[in-house]
Amino acid sequence: MSLRLFIFLFLLFFKAFLFLSPSLCFQMPTNEVTRLVKDAIDVGYRHIDCADVYGNQKDVGLAIEEKIKAGAVERKDLFITGKLWNTKHDPQLVCATCQNALNELKITYFDNYLIHWPTGFVDSEEKYPLDANGQTLFSNIDYVDTWRALEALVDAGLCRSIGLSNFNVEQIKRVFEVARIKPANLQIECHPYLNQSELIDFCRKCNIVVTAYSPLGSPHSPYNKPGTYKLLEHPLIVDLALSYKRAPALILLLYQIQRGNAVITMSTKREHMADNLNACSFELNETEMKRIDELNFNGRYNLMENAKGHPHHPFEY
């Protein structure tokens, strides 16, 4: 089964995460993260989105191990994504970093492994290494060299597919120019305020599956909030939710699904996890999709300001 087909069979999936920014570091207790992942598997989620920077892969791994041992799910039924953090872009560090993540998750391979950002930092155990002036220490590693190291992970059987996260069109083109194994997936911030239409169209032409993170507009994140309304409170979204007798969150999830995107969603409540899986139980019409699209103003929540000034920063300031 192709990666593209597999992802579209599991368009909604669960993300257990450590949220990390320069101003705030919030981590759920270990037992809470483990419970969330176990609940997600129980209600039917099969894609678990992980990353080194979330800081909780051991907790996620414990949940996966317990569910497999209990016979609730088999490893082959799960689709597990991992991400290489900025401090490990050096090709000589990639294999060991990936293997360490696999060990923490108690699995032997990733279904999908991404370069989290194109912006490399110096090798450090700190996720955001700083100089004496509090500025992030950048590395001179080119992400195309990092990509070649990811290809070696596929050769070694540690990853079944590889991809990118938070890359722009020109950066993806550079990877394609050197790639022996083409990127299968691009994970990007995507919601009505930032609909990413041009980037998504480019990915379609390149046969890259797009995964949308922050589809609800990061309502619980510390990022700057673009727009007059929080997405979940925008009058259009609220009106559509009332019309279909669904939660506003389901309108936003279905918007992405009908565009052909995979969607990352997160909930701390089991009943909300189950509700999210029902996003495909109704359909928005063409006019409604167009009206949601028109909310776009390139309003980005995650600016990655820690990497501002980096030669490979993907966003314009």
Q: Which residues are annotated as a binding site for substrate?
A: 116
Annotated binding site: 116
| CB < 8 Å & 24+ apart, contacts of 31-35 | 32/268, 33/59, 33/60, 33/63, 34/59, 34/60, 34/62, 34/63, 34/66, 35/63
Count of CB atoms within 10 A of residue 198's CB?
10
The one catalytic residue among 45, 54, 113, 143 = 54
The answer to whether residue 109 is catalytic is no
Distance, in Å, from the CA atom of 212 to the CA atom of 260, rounded to the nearest integer, reads 10
275 with 196: CB under 8 angstroms?
A: no
Q: Hey, what long-range contacts does 134-140 have (CB within 8 A, 24 or more apart)? A: 136/306, 136/307, 136/310, 138/307, 138/309, 138/310, 138/311, 139/89, 139/90
Phi and psi dihedrals of 296, rounded to 5?
A: -65, 135
Amino acid at position 239, single letter: D
- How far does CA 16 lie from the centroid of its chain? 11
Catalytic machinery residues: 54
